[in-house]
Amino acid sequence: MDVLVPFAAERPKTRLESVLDGEERVAFARAMLVDVLAAVDGTGRSPTVLATAPVDVDHPVTVDDRPLTPAVNQRLGDATAVLMADLALATPAAVDRLFAPDAGVVLAPGLGGGTNALVTRHPEFRVDYHGASYRDHRRNADRVGATVATVDSFRLAVDVDERTDLTEVLLHGDGSARDWLVDAGFELAQTDGRVDVTRAAR
């Protein structure tokens, strides 16, 4: 099965601009990509990066500068998996769960209505990553008559887009993205509610 990892190589992670400058966002996004690729490697599968511009990683890279949805749809084969590049908590065990259900379409929901990972085995299924894509993907699967299964995974549900997501990486990550944050001075900060992050002055 083809395993695609789409990656926005230019101006990634704009919603982290309150805590990371432009160069840092590029470096942190790449660290997360490396972690996702390692998690896929750990399942015995071979991922391909589908990037908007060339990126230097130890895996095959296909460049397509179109938006995510058409770039992915053009490459959906008989059996294809698509994992977002910002799943910094992904582990081989979590990724493996995506391949377990015997369904036409398997969806791993992300926080806030996204689809962080999916498998399609149905030739007519198409993705649409705009907006509440989880709901749209369920609908698209129903429309083409594909059976749907979901994967109930915290590690696949956390895509790292916002400041609060950095907390999860510090708490539960164990790869290069977590190392990058620690090296950059991030640490956990207690609050009355959920744990936050702070950054030490350099």
Minimum distance of a second copy from residue 155's CB (angstroms): 5
Compute how many other C-beta atoms are within 10 angstroms of the C-beta atom of residue 194. Answer: 8
Q: Which is nearer to a second copy, 2 or 162 (CB)?
A: 162
Of the two residues 15 and 66, which places its CB atom closer to a second copy in the complex?
Answer: 15
State the minimum distance, in angstroms, from the CB of residue 172 to a second copy: 7
> How far apart are CB 184 and a second copy at their closest, in Å?
20
β-sheet bridge partners, residue 49: 5, 61
For CA atoms 160, 34, 30, 51, the dihedral sign is: negative
> How far apart are CB 170 and a second copy at their closest, in Å?
9
Nearer to a second copy, 63 or 171 (CB): 171
Q: Please state, in angstroms and rounded to a whole number, the distance separating the CA atoms of residues 66 and 63.
A: 9
- Shortest distance (Å) from residue 173 CB to a second copy: 12
Binding site residues, a second copy, CB under 8 A: 15, 93-94, 97, 109, 111-114, 131-132, 134-135, 152-157, 161-162, 164, 167-168, 171-172, 188, 190, 193-195
CB nearer to a second copy: give 76 or 97: 97
Closer to a second copy by Cβ: residue 35 or 168? 168
